[in-house]
Every structure is written in structure tokens, then in C-alpha cells.
Structure 1
Amino acid sequence: MSSQSQEGFGPVQLARWLGMKEWQLRRAQNLGLIPPPDLHAHRWSHALARTLPDRVEQILAEVGERPEPTADGKTSRPRSREGFGPVQLARSLGIQEWQLRHAQFRGLVPPPDIEGRRWSDALAETLPDRVEQILAEVGDHPGIGSEKSAQYLAERTALDVQRADVQALHERGILRPTGEFRGWPLYAVKELDALAPDQLLAVVADRQRWLAASLTNAEAAELLGWSVGRFEVTAERGGLAPGRFGRYARADVEGLRHDR
């Protein structure tokens, strides 16, 4: 557990940690055998993950075997009499499964009303009239991640845009994700194009100012003429915590000279 990020588990990490395949985890979620993520709606906390290992045997027994693909390469999944699963609902609406996920992410499709994992016939019948709105909002492309978004913005603006800048725009509520993939946000190109130049310039400048005014632990230790270990222990004892990117403010580091 200690090797995992403090931000919990994404779906791939959780599946591996539980000794399951990713498709088994997804199906277990659809069946309600694994609770929804409790961190930012896309990651499982350590506390929640610890409740699952004892249930893996039961989960795998209920998940069953993976369906074999049919001649057209699609997985055969007969529709349950108890409403629609996500794949079935997407097909019935004539949209892609990722478009359904993104529509749920944006609140355009209500949550499943049968045990939290399937949509009833009654609820599904209310959705065809929303398809036009869904397609208009989620578009015809699933979006791109923060790394590719940064590359796209850098090429479009000639600014030194980094992944951290895209994440900062998200955290500030300026850039809204269109959906997510394996727990990571995806951004529509039209949303990236809609960013105001001054908003983008501000986050890039903030990052560059912090990098110029801060040091890594190794750089801080070198500045003080200490070992990295001595610096980290002294900083911790003095209540000096790293900031963004795990870096320390140069002024705070220099203040440690007087604490020796």
C-alpha cells in the first residue's frame, strides 16, 4: 500500500493491486460489486481499497468469464430484462459508449436507477430526446489528456505550455474536462481553443516564477553545503514543507542557515 500514490488508486492500479483484470474491475463496478471511486469521482482512496481484498473471490465468481467476440469483432452481451447496462444504453441511443460516459460526467444523462448500475426501461425511454444535446456538448471526439493538451496549446500559442499548466487551469475552474479516461481528465479541443490568452499566459508565468524562486531538495542541500538527508531532516523539524512540484521556496531554504 505504501508504494501507491497518496491520491489513491486509479482503475488500472486498483485492478492490479487486487489481482484482477481491468475488464473484471469494470464489470464488477457495473454490477455494483465494487463501490464507486470516492476521490474526485475517479480514484479510490486507500481506506476504501482496503475493504476489497477479502471480497475478491466473491467478486470474480459473480463477474464470470469474459464474453467471446462475435464475427464482427464486437462482444456479444444479451440485454438483461432488468433495464440497460452502459453498452446497451449507448447502442440503443445510437451513440458511442465514451459519449455516454462523457454525458454522465456532464450530468446530461442521469445515474442508473436500478441498483446504481443499470438504467430502467422507463428512464431509458426519456433519453432519446436528449441525444442531440448530448452530441452537441460532448462532440465526436473523446478529448485529449493534459500532456497532449499542453502540446496542442504550445503549438497554437508559441508559449511554453506544460502539463502542469493545463492541470492548473483545471484546478482554477477555467478549463472544464469533457470526460475522463482511466480516472484522468480529458479536454475537448474546442475548450482549449476557447481559453483566453491572458488566462494561459498567467498560469505559465506563475509556474515559471515559482520554478525561479524555488529549489529541489538536492539544490537546497547544495546551496547550504549539506547532505540531502541533513536538509530534509532539518526542514521537517523546522516545519518547512515542500510546495508545488515538491520544491522549496529559496527564501525559506536560505533562512535555515540561521537555524544551524
Structure 2
Amino acid sequence: MAKERAFGPHQLAEWLGIEPRHVRRAETRGLIPPPDVGDERWSVGLAKTLPDRVEEILSVVGDENYGEAQGAGKTGRRQPAKGDAFGPHQLASELDLQRWQVGRAEQRGLLPPPDVDGKRWSREVVDGLRERVAEIREELGDHPGLGSIDAAKHLAGRTELEVEREDVRMLAGQGHLRPVGEFRGYPMFSLESLDGLDGELVAAVVDERQRWMERSVTAKEAAALLGWSAGRFEVAAERNGLAPGRLGRYDRAEVEGLPERDRERGEGQG
């Protein structure tokens, strides 16, 4: 029996008409499922779910030329798929915007709601938007922003610190970073806001996380530290009000004191 066809990253990229870097970034952001053949390749069945999502994927991973290449034709613009109404991709091409700019403009109320089936914009509405394109571009900028993983990499490159995703989340939680938009519920941060962060502030957040990692343990590590089973630790921790802290980790000192607290609690109820 012939071996079923499967795609490595380069083969998948060529098959989808994109570049390997797009595949890598899309996989990191969860836009492409993990390989399902030996953890290294994608099966044909899984790969066939992706061609219809190429535009969505590239709108996020930053291919600025894709919309122009796909929209180019005899008239230089992609024609609407159905009648004289425009979906998000067609609207982006018609107004010479990037696909992410259309989505971001919707989120910020810079575009009216779709007036055709709740999904598309009529020709009348689109024609009325043409004079606002410059305003939309100025408001949104020319970069979609970075998710927390890529934002951490960006900060690490700028500060030469070991910045991780959790540090970006902490900076946002403290109000030092404000999302410029979101993708599938996840915040996106502008390059300007990331580059505007004070290096000492970033260093303090990184240092705080690293110190917490040093003095904390996972539930599995806590059970091993005490010589207990995972179940015994979880029951004893809950019974004594020992809850995990940041990153789902437990304070090592509190874990070490858990046996005595549990014993005293048992004696007090006896």
C-alpha cells in the first residue's frame, strides 16, 4: 500500500502558495494546527482545511503584498464574489486597505456594520467609505501589531533581556501596554507601544518573574518535594487553603510547611 502523502513545512508552504516563514509564524500563533504526522508533517486531510484560510492567515502574519497580488486582475481590483456586495477581503481590496485594517476598523467602529446579510457591505456603503480611507489608515497605522509571543520576542531583541509571554501580559495588566486590537480574543500590541516601554521597567518585570520561578514549584514538583502522590498534595493543599499563584505555581516555602499545617489541622479536628 502506498504511503499517504504528507507535507513538511516547506512543502506545505509551496502547496498553499505562501512562504515557509508564514507557515512557521502561523503555527506559532495557532492559525495552523500542529503537525499530525509524526509531529513533523501535516497530513493531506489536515492540509486541505487550509487553502480557504490563506488570506486570513497572511493578514495576521504580515504579508503586506498578498492582498495586492491576489486583488490584481484586469481591472486591478478583485470583483465582489456575490453580486455587488463586498466581504471583508473584497472590501480591503476595493479600498486598497490590508485585510487586518478592515478587521481593526470594524472593532473600533471606523466602519459601519455590514448591511448585506450582516456579513457584507453594499456598493453604496463602500462608495461612501472611499473618502475616509486616509483617515482609517492614519488611525490604524501600517502594522497590525504583535501578539504576546511575538511581542516578547520583539522586546527581548530590543532590551537583550529574557522576555517571555508572561512578562508582556504582566506589563499589559499593570497598564503599561494597551492593546491596539485583538485576534480571536487575544490582544495585539503596537510596535510603537512596545518600543516606548522603559527598559528598566521591562527589566523589573522580567526579574520579578524569574525570582518567582526560583522560589516556586509546580504541583508535580511540590508533590515530589514532599514525597507525596499528586493526589495527596492536591487534596492537602486545597484542605489547607494553599492556592497556586502566578503561572499556576506554588510558593516553595508554603509547600514545605504544608505537612505540618495539615498535621496540626488534623489534630485540631481530632
TM bucket (normalised to shorter chain) is 0.5 to 0.7
Q: What is residue 116 of structure 1 aligned with on the other side?
A: 118
Aligned-pair CA distance for 1:86: 0.9
Aligned-pair CA distance for 1:87: 1.6
Q: What is residue 130 of structure 1 aligned with on the other side?
A: 132
Out of 146, 151, 154, which is 2:153 matched to?
151
Cα-Cα RMSD: 3.6
Out of 81, 105, 108, which is 1:106 matched to?
108
- Equivalent position amino acid for 2:242 in 1: L
Which blocks of at least 5 consecutive residues in structure 2 are unaligned? 1-29, 34-45, 55-69, 264-270
Out of 175, 178, 190, which is 1:176 matched to?
178
Out of 90, 95, 98, which is 1:96 matched to?
98
For residues 90-125 of structure 1, give each alpha carbon's deviation from its aligned partner in whole angstroms, at most 9, with x where no partner exists. Answer: 122111212212222333323323443122344334
Distance 1:128 1:196, change over 3 A: farther
- Larger RCO of the pair (alpha carbons < 8 Å, separation 6+): 1
- Aligned to 1:185, the other structure's residue is in SS state strand
Distance 1:153 1:90, change over 3 A: same
Distance 1:114 1:203, change over 3 A: farther
- What is the alpha-carbon distance in structure 1 between the residues aligned to residue 107 and residue 51 of structure 2? 20
Out of 201, 217, 227, which is 2:203 matched to?
201
Q: What is residue 60 of structure 2 aligned with on the other side?
A: none
- What is the alpha-carbon distance in structure 2 between the residues aligned to residue 70 and residue 130 of structure 1? 20
Q: What is residue 143 of structure 2 aligned with on the other side?
A: 141
Q: What is residue 192 of structure 1 aligned with on the other side?
A: 194
Report the TM-score, using the length of structure 2 for normalisation: 0.61
Which blocks of at least 5 consecutive residues in structure 1 are unaligned? 1-9, 14-18, 27-68
Report the TM-score, using the length of structure 1 for normalisation: 0.63
- In the alignment of these two chains, the number of paired residues is 205
Question: Is the contact between residue 11 and residue 22 of structure 1 (CA under 8 Å) also seen in structure 2?
Answer: no
Distance 1:236 1:82, change over 3 A: farther
- What is the alpha-carbon distance in structure 1 between the residues aligned to residue 112 and residue 172 of structure 2? 24
Question: Is the contact between residue 12 and residue 182 of structure 1 (CA under 8 Å) also seen in structure 2?
Answer: no
For residues 125-182 of structure 1, give each alpha carbon's deviation from its aligned partner in whole angstroms, at most 9, with x where no partner exists. Answer: 4422332232223333333332222122112112221111112223344323344445
Distance 1:111 1:210, change over 3 A: farther
- What is the alpha-carbon distance in structure 2 between the residues aligned to residue 114 and residue 170 of structure 1? 37
- Provide the identity percentage: 51
- What is the alpha-carbon distance in structure 2 between the residues aligned to residue 188 and residue 166 of structure 1? 12
